[in-house]
Amino acid sequence: MFYYKSIDSTQKEIYRRIENKDILSGDVIIADIQTNAIGTHGRRWYTDTENNIAFSLFIELGEELKILDGITIRIAEILKEIFKVIYDVDLTIKKPNDLILNRKKIGGILTETKVCGNIVKYIVLGIGINTNQLVFDENIEKIASSIKKETKIIIDNNKIIYEFLYRFAKEIDIRIGEKLWELDCYFLDKDHKALGWEKIFTMIMKHTEML
């Protein structure tokens, strides 16, 4: 797991690491600020202020293409479930990859793959969610917002990221019938007791490279 205070794009950083053969399945790039983030169809995704969620995940698969059927919608459903369970916030999914609150876009999902024949070599997943931002550029303020701006709820970004990684890992495990990477170890202590979020975050940060 790699954390950047500021970077051009977490998605682009994944691809740089792929090109340099400096990446492992399960690697996550997290950033406070993205100066040139990308959304679907090459559009710009605005993450030019801190306190939002911006991360990308790399997973090697080597599985048939059907494994990923409906994966983007499922990712949106997982995020919707997490915000409902933790904060009682009801997000709406605008297919295929947008998260909406009060008719304004607050998040997006970018799912990219490398496919050879019928085999998915890897998936690069990017997620951006406006959580705690209050001020938006006048060019987008009528169509975009954040959870805090709409609900006055302060979001714990780390909690959302790690809960998503845990649930998404389980989703992939179910689809391929085996465990790809060991996120579970972050959520249980040596006596198999569930850990609180503060301890989870502390443990994970010990394995996170700060850049």
Tens digit of each residue's pLDDT (9 = 90 or more) over 179-198 = 555 544 343 333 434 344 44
For 167-173, what is the mean pLDDT? 90
State residue 199's pLDDT score.
Answer: 46
Top pLDDT among 140 and 125 is at 125
Q: Which two tokens stand for residue 122?
A: 């890897």
Which secondary-structure segment (H or E) carries 91? none
User: What value does the mean pLDDT of the chain take?
Assistant: 83
Residue among 117, 115, 202 nearest 158 (CA): 202
Torsion angle, CA of 114/118/120/126, rounded to 10 degrees?
Answer: 60
For 97-110, what is the mean pLDDT? 95
State residue 36's pLDDT score.
Answer: 81
State residue 46's pLDDT score.
Answer: 53
State residue 191's pLDDT score.
Answer: 44
Question: Can you list the alpha helix ranges (DSSP code H) found in the chain?
Answer: 10-19, 71-87, 147-151, 157-176, 197-206
State residue 100's pLDDT score.
Answer: 97
Spatial separation of the C-alpha atoms in residues 44 and 40, rounded to whole Å: 8
Spatial separation of the C-alpha atoms in residues 53 and 31, rounded to whole Å: 8
State residue 193's pLDDT score.
Answer: 41
Top pLDDT among 48 and 81 is at 81
SS3 207: coil
Range with the lowest mean pLDDT among 37-46, 64-73, 94-103? 37-46
What residues does 58 pair with on adjacent strands? 124
DSSP β-ladder status, 209-210 and 2-7:
parallel
pLDDT in tens, 9-40: 999 999 999 999 999 998 999 998 888 876 55
Question: Of all residues in the chain, what percent are helix, strand and coil, respectively (each to 5)?
Answer: 35, 30, 35
State residue 174's pLDDT score.
Answer: 87
pLDDT in tens, 34-62: 888 765 555 555 555 678 999 999 999 98
Spatial separation of the C-alpha atoms in residues 80 and 127, rounded to whole Å: 13
Top pLDDT among 88 and 137 is at 88
